[in-house]
């Protein structure tokens, strides 16, 4: 299939929509949102597949590899909920194993799921195990918020852009695994064991922040989803983009910045917010990296920059 994931989503998006009065938000953001009495419920699913998201041979180089995949699966989905301002609560797991999968790998995977779920306070309430031609781990996550939710489409000109953590690390970790470089535990773990920014998302929504997304497909790409859906332009100052010292040490400043802009799977949060909230937002742990203005597109240090994210369908 030559279609990219995003093109395919565009094609099929028209097939579905919000039909039920209680569906506040359907296909097209990090999670769908339902009304359930006083609560907003966020529903999301995200899968990890052998070949696209990981290579089986990496387990020779990374201790507890399948445990980490289990933890990643939960955190990736919790991150979608976090980026809407919700608290991840309930989850179901579909695990597809192959003839080559071992019982130990399966058990390790579920151990990782359990650990991450406990850390986040998520109840794993069901799932399905199947056999197929390639390993695949899918997670459905239900999140909740009684304080509203954040979307990609509500950035307003004049707002500041805030980000959690450091970016590019996951892409650095991936590069190490792909190229067979010496393992740097910090970077590889940032790729294999991201941490969903649940606290930060919850505190932002409680402060009244309206616009957020997570960095699953690269900083520029995900800023682009905000800019496009909000019909605004976003300006970023490259020197303000938070980079880890490990990333710079291993890859040098220039590549580190490239990874930060175009690498995916950091699962940090990006928000936009009114300048009046700056102090409070910084105290939550966000760093200001830019500003929203009228217009369209993404600008880094004043230069327009094209969105180029991580796309599963275009890897080979």
Which residues, at least 6 apart from 8, have a Cβ–Cβ distance to it below 8 Å? 1, 313
CA 218/CA 54 separation, integer angstroms = 17
Task: Note every long-range contact of 33-37, with CB atoms under 8 Å and residues 24 or more positions apart, other chains counting.
Answer: 33/84, 33/149
- Token look-up 């109840």 returns 123
Token digits for 125? 């309430």
> 191 is written with which tokens?
């790729």
Q: 79 exposed, middle or buried (CB, 10 Å; 0-12, 13-18, 19+)?
A: buried
Q: Restricting to residues 35-54, which ones interact with its own copies according to CB under 8 A? A: 36-39, 41, 43-47, 49-53
Q: Give residue for tokens 């080559």.
A: 100
Instruction: For residue 55, state whether it binds its own copies (rule: CB under 8 A).
Output: no
Among 74, 82, 84, 142, binds its own copies (CB under 8 A): 142
In terms of CB distance, is 4 or 238 closer to its own copies? 4
Nearer to its own copies, 22 or 61 (CB): 22
Q: Which of residues 276-315 bind its own copies (CB under 8 A)?
A: 312-313, 315
Which member of 61, 102, 178, 308 binds its own copies (CB under 8 A)? 102
x-or-dash string of contact with its own copies, 173-212, rule CB under 8 A: ----------------------------------------
- Say whether residue 136 binds its own copies (CB under 8 A): yes
> Residue 183: is it exposed, middle or buried by C-beta count within 10 angstroms (0-12/13-18/19+)?
middle
Sequence-ordered list of residues with C-beta below 8 angstroms from that of 223, at least 6 positions apart, any chain: 161, 234, 236, 270, 298
- Interface region with its own copies, contact rule CB under 8 A, candidates 57-65, 127-135, 148-156, 166-174: 127-135
| Under rule CB under 8 A, residue 96 binds its own copies | yes
Residue with Cβ nearer its own copies (125 or 178): 125
Among 55, 61, 107, 296, contact with its own copies (rule: CB under 8 A): 107
Site string for its own copies, 1-40 (x = CB under 8 A): xxx-x--xx-xx--xxxxxx--x-xxx---xx-x-xxxx-
101 touches its own copies by CB under 8 A: yes
């Amino acid at each position: 299939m030559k279609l990219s994931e995003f093109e395919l989503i565009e094609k099929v998006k028209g097939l579905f929509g919000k039909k039920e009065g209680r569906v506040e938000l359907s296909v097209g953001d990090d999670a769908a949102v339902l009304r359930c009495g006083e609560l907003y419920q966020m529903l999301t699913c995200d899968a990890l597949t052998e070949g696209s998201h990981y290579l089986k041979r990496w387990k020779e180089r990374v201790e507890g590899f399948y445990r980490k995949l289990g933890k990643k699966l939960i955190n990736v989905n919790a991150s979608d909920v976090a980026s809407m301002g919700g608290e991840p609560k309930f989850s179901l797991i579909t695990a597809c194993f192959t003839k080559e999968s071992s019982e130990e790998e399966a058990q390790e995977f579920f151990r990782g799921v359990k650990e991450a779920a406990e850390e986040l306070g998520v109840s794993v309430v069901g799932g399905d195990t199947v056999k197929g031609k390639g390993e695949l781990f899918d997670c459905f996550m239900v999140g909740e918020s009684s304080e509203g939710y954040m979307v990609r489409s509500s950035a307003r000109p004049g707002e500041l852009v805030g980000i959690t953590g450091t970016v590019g690390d996951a892409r650095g970790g991936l590069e190490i695994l792909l190229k067979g470089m010496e393992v740097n535990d910090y970077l590889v773990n940032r790729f294999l064991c991201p941490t969903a920014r649940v606290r930060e998302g919850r505190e932002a929504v409680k402060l009244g922040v309206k616009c957020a997304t997570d960095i699953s497909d690269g900083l520029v790409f995900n800023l682009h989803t905000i800019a496009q859906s909000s019909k605004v332009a976003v300006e970023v100052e490259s020197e303000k983009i938070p980079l880890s010292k490990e990333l710079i040490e291993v890859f040098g400043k220039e590549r580190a910045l490239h990874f930060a802009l175009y690498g995916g799977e950091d699962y940090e949060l990006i928000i936009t917010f009114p300048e009046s909230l700056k102090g409070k937002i910084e105290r939550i742990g966000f760093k200001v990296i830019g500003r929203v203005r009228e217009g369209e597109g993404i600008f880094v240090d004043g230069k327009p920059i094209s969105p180029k994210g991580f796309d599963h369908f275009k890897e080979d």
